Amino acid sequence: MAMQTVREGLFSAPQTSWWTAFGSQPLAPESLAGDSDSFAGVKVGSVGETGQRVDKQSNSATHLAFSLGDVKSPRLVPKPHGATFSMQSPCLELGFSQPPIYTKYPYGEQQYYGVVSAYGSQSRVMLPLNMETEDSTIYVNSKQYHGIIRRRQSRAKAAAVLDQKKLSSRCRKPYMHHSRHLHALRRPRGSGGRFLNTKSQNLENSGTNAKKGDGSMQIQSQPKPQQSNSQNSEVVHPENGTMNLSNGLNVSGSEVTSMNYFLSSPVHSLGGMVMPSKWIAAAAAMDNGCCNFKT
């Protein structure tokens, strides 16, 4: 992270060419120069990206400052965090690097020596070896230390609430409104459990209307595609014509029944007694209570 310590600057090593390129003074002792190279290499990449983003936002020049091995930091508090925060913390921490950079302009005597282990590090002592690994400690503005800790706690609390809601959403509610649920229970259902819609009810009503009057029966039978069947029955069996017509009209609308009627009529042409039993069996098979055979 970018930070600067005025007090630390008094004891820092002389300026080197490596740090001059980034426009900041190195604050690490000479003994740690070897380790600081690789560490700075890792930081330069990440901070550079943040610098670009900051440039897009504010159109201002970015000054990058590096501080390594702040041994005199009084706060050495390990902070264990979950994987979620270790993923989010680098971006968020880098986002906070902008204000301390701005404070460099007035050159106030502000000291930044807060210690936060953002990557779940359990170290209690500030050792140079930690700088080589990715689990190095991150230095933040001391004024913001308590705020950052408080924000982490509230963020963890909010994350826990969200997790609970996700778990609860798995068990789906059977219905949203109780009154609508009761109404659905009272609705009549057909075969297979589906609701009976208004169209099927109208068809039943029209079937009932067809039973009234012989004249209306003949009129309705003409537009239907069974005209050829009815004509054949009239020509071949003039005496049983009325009975056949009535039977056909009663079970009209069902293709299976009409096929049975077509197949059975030539076979039982002479036997008048067999016809009613055949139709009764067909009606039983169809399980259609609306059919009523006449005489």
Partner 1 sequence: MTDEDRLLPIANVGRLMKQILPSNAKISKEAKQTVQECATEFISFVTCEASEKCHRENRKTVNGDDIWWALSTLGLDNYADAVGRHLHKYREAERERTEHNKGSNDSGNEKETNTRSDVQNQSTKFIRVVEKGSSSSAR
Interface with partner 1 (CB under 8 A): 53, 56-60, 88, 91-92, 95-96, 99-100, 102-103, 106, 110, 141, 143-144, 147-148, 150-151, 154, 158, 161-162, 165
**168 or 205: whose CB is closer to partner 1?**
168
**148 or 275: whose CB is closer to partner 1?**
148
**17 or 154: whose CB is closer to partner 1?**
154
**96 or 293: whose CB is closer to partner 1?**
96
CA atoms of 79 and 175, how far apart (whole Å): 45
**61 or 236: whose CB is closer to partner 1?**
61
Minimum distance, C-beta of residue 174 to partner 1, in the bound complex (Å): 23
Minimum distance, C-beta of residue 143 to partner 1, in the bound complex (Å): 4
Rounded (5°) CA angle 249-211-222: 45
The first and second tokens of residue 292, run together, are 């009523």
Minimum distance, C-beta of residue 158 to partner 1, in the bound complex (Å): 7
Minimum distance, C-beta of residue 56 to partner 1, in the bound complex (Å): 6
**160 or 280: whose CB is closer to partner 1?**
160
CB 116 within 8 A of CB 79: yes
**25 or 103: whose CB is closer to partner 1?**
103
CB 110 within 8 A of CB 63: no
CB 129 within 8 A of CB 84: no
Residue 192 CB partners (closer than 8 Å, separation 6+) = none
SS3 label, residue 154:
helix
The first and second tokens of residue 287, run together, are 């399980």
The pairing of beta strand 114-116 with beta strand 138-140: antiparallel
**Residue bearing tokens 């600067």:** 4
Minimum distance, C-beta of residue 161 to partner 1, in the bound complex (Å): 8
CB 113 within 8 A of CB 75: yes
Minimum distance, C-beta of residue 154 to partner 1, in the bound complex (Å): 7
Minimum distance, C-beta of residue 87 to partner 1, in the bound complex (Å): 11
Q: Of 157, 115, 155, give the one whose Cα is nearest residue 139.
A: 115
Q: What is the DSSP letter of 13?
A: P
Q: Which amino acid type is present at position 265?
A: S
The first and second tokens of residue 187, run together, are 């609705």
